[in-house]
Amino acid sequence: MGLSPYGDMDKQTNPYYKKLLNVIDLKEDGSYRLNMDQFLFRKWAGKYNLTDPSDEEYILTEEEEESVIFNAIEARKKHTAWKMADYGLSAEETLKKLAEIDFTKEVDRDAVLKAANSAKHQDLWHKEQRVKEKEAAEKARKELEERCDAKYMFSLMKWTSRNEFGKDLVVNENNKRFITAICFFLSRDSRFETELGFSFKKGILVHVLTLCQLELVVVKWELGWYWMVHSRLALCLLMFSKYNQMPLSM
């Protein structure tokens, strides 16, 4: 019924017919079998820990069992009281009838504990996933830091100059120290401080002595991100009160 609006009754021209053959294996006797590889259930089962509760190890403590049963009984009491009030019973009549009910027999202890045990497994699984995600993110960050060294930054500058501005990057005695400082700064290379004498605690302000030439301002934000602002004006956008001063003659 759900597939009736799709395609037509001709097997040769119906585009959905061949696709469905990969999902449903039709037998000669009229029976059929679903190809589970075409469904996302198995993938999701592993991703979201969709396991059979009957196969799970029992890990509830005695204190947790008591708490779970107590909460289940209280929930049952509240639900029963709500139904009585909905039927028009007074508060006094409701309390009287509630006192006559043995709620320990109204609660399926085994089913409640089984559900609680499964929920605890799920909670532990989620905590384990968060730890793994944090470890993976830290690993990715370290790999990125190792890859984005000073040489990588320099190659990126050359690629940008050639592909974005159509000019090859020229390194000479006038700009060598400037380019080196930029590469060391963006890659967090310790030589930025040990060899060049600058500080990572500051941003970088580049003074271009010619008004019509390109100037570059690299600002280090407190959160650790870097912005590179290009301008053909001699005016600098001052973001910090203290900078590593780098005069550059172009």
Tell me which of 81, 116, 146 is where a domain ends: 146
Residue range 224-245: average pLDDT? 38
85 and 27 within one domain: no
pLDDT score for 155? 92
In this prediction, residue 37 carries a pLDDT of 72
Least confident span in 56-70, 141-155, 217-231, 235-249: 217-231
pTM of this prediction?
0.50
pLDDT score of 7: 64
Q: Is position 44 within any domain?
A: no
From CA 62, how far away is CA 67, in angstroms rounded? 9
In this structure, the answer to whether residues 170 and 215 fall within a common structural domain is yes
Gap between the Cα atoms of 188 and 181, Å rounded: 10
The answer to the question of residue 118 being in a domain is yes
pLDDT value at residue 53? 59
Quick check: 45 pLDDT over 70? Answer: no
Average pLDDT for 109-121: 90
Give the number of domains in the chain: 3
Contacts of 37 (CB under 8 A, 6+ apart): none
Confidence band (pLDDT; 50, 70, 90) for 250? very low
Task: Give yes or no: residues 164 and 102 share one domain.
Answer: no
pLDDT of residue 164: 87
Check residues 230 and 82 and name the one with the higher pLDDT.
82
pLDDT at 227 over 50: no
Q: Are residues 171 and 194 in the same domain?
A: yes
Average pLDDT over residues 9-19: 75
Whether residue 68 is found in the same domain as residue 20:
no
Is residue 48 a part of any domain in this protein?
Answer: no
Pair 112, 191 in one domain: no
**pLDDT over 70 percentage in the chain:** 70
Could you tell me if 121 and 185 lie in one domain? no
Task: Indicate if the pLDDT at residue 70 is higher than 90.
Answer: yes
Provide the residue range defining the domain that includes 29: 1-39
For 167-225, what is each residue's pLDDT tens digit? Answer: 888 888 888 888 898 889 888 899 999 998 888 888 777 665 544 444 343 443 333 33
Domain contains 77 = yes
Say yes or no: 160 and 243 in one domain.
Answer: yes
